[in-house]
Each structure stands twice: as structure tokens, then as C-alpha cells.
Amino acid sequence: MDQKLCEKLMQVYYMRVYSYLVTLTKNDDLAQELTQETFYKAFTAKSAFRSESEELTWLCAIGKNLFLDEKRRLARHTELPETQSADIHIESDEVDRDLAFRIHMALHRLDEPFREVFELRVFGELSFREIGTIFGKTESWARVTFHRARLKIKERMAE
């Protein structure tokens, strides 16, 4: 990748990739490190950007993969005593399963287009612009519909 393109990508997307990684990591230092690694990997990749998606989407995907790699690496090195680890794992699995079931129940009872917009955003990981395009609406419409869907799910879960 030529240097001018690299500089352009850094100037245009650095803060957006960093912000995305801060939301994933909940840690400024780790997000900054992963952001730098993301751009390094993007610039040194043998298979450069192929224009199959937007540049930001491509960079965020690289960042997300680096975050997941880091999370796996930390999980391997952070081991609890055997019995304590097993007890926590079983208990958290039960809580996670129960919460996931309640969310799916609330989602199942959600009217259209709220359910589909929520599913496209959360499970399909589509941007609001892409969701708006699917429905033939604006990006703002997709944002508002997603926000309302989240509120409806929270209300139903509280019931």
C-alpha cells in the first residue's frame, strides 16, 4: 500500500477505529494499542483493501479480530484454580442462558420492522446506512427504529 494512501486512511479513520475499539475493550490503553496494530496490519497486509466493503468497515473488522485474538490470549493466561473456575463457569453459563432466553422471548414478541432492524444491527452487524437501504429508508430512520426496538425489548424484559 502506498504511503499517501496510508496517511489518508490514518487521518480519516484513526479516531473512528479508536472509538470503536474503546467500546469493545472498555480500556483506553488497550484500544490505542489495538488501533495502532490495526493500521499496521492494514498497511502491511499482503492482501490489501479490495473495495468489497467500505474502508472503515475493513479497518474495524481488522480491529475486532485483533481484539478477539487479545481476548483469547488473555483467557489462556488467566487461569483460576480448577474447582473455582468450574463453579464460576457453570454459574455464568446458567445466567447467560437465562438472559439470552429472556432477550429472545422479548425479541420474538417484537413487531416488525423493529424486530428485523434489531436483528440486522445486532446479529447481522450491519450499519444503519445498510439497514436503511434494505428498507428503502434513511440512515436516520434505521437509527430511530433500532433505538425504539431496544426500548421495547427493555420494557418487555422488565415485565
**Tens-place pLDDT, residues 57-106:** 888 888 888 988 888 888 776 654 544 444 445 555 666 777 777 777 88
Using the predicted structure, report yes or no on whether residue 49 has a pLDDT greater than 70. no
Residues 71-97 as b/e (b if ≥16 CB within 10 A, e otherwise) read: eeeeeeeeeeeeeeeeeeeeeeeeeee
Least reliable range by pLDDT among 36-50, 81-95, 139-153: 81-95
pLDDT value, residue 72:
85
HSE (side-chain half, CA atoms, 13 Å) at 87: 5
pLDDT value, residue 80:
47
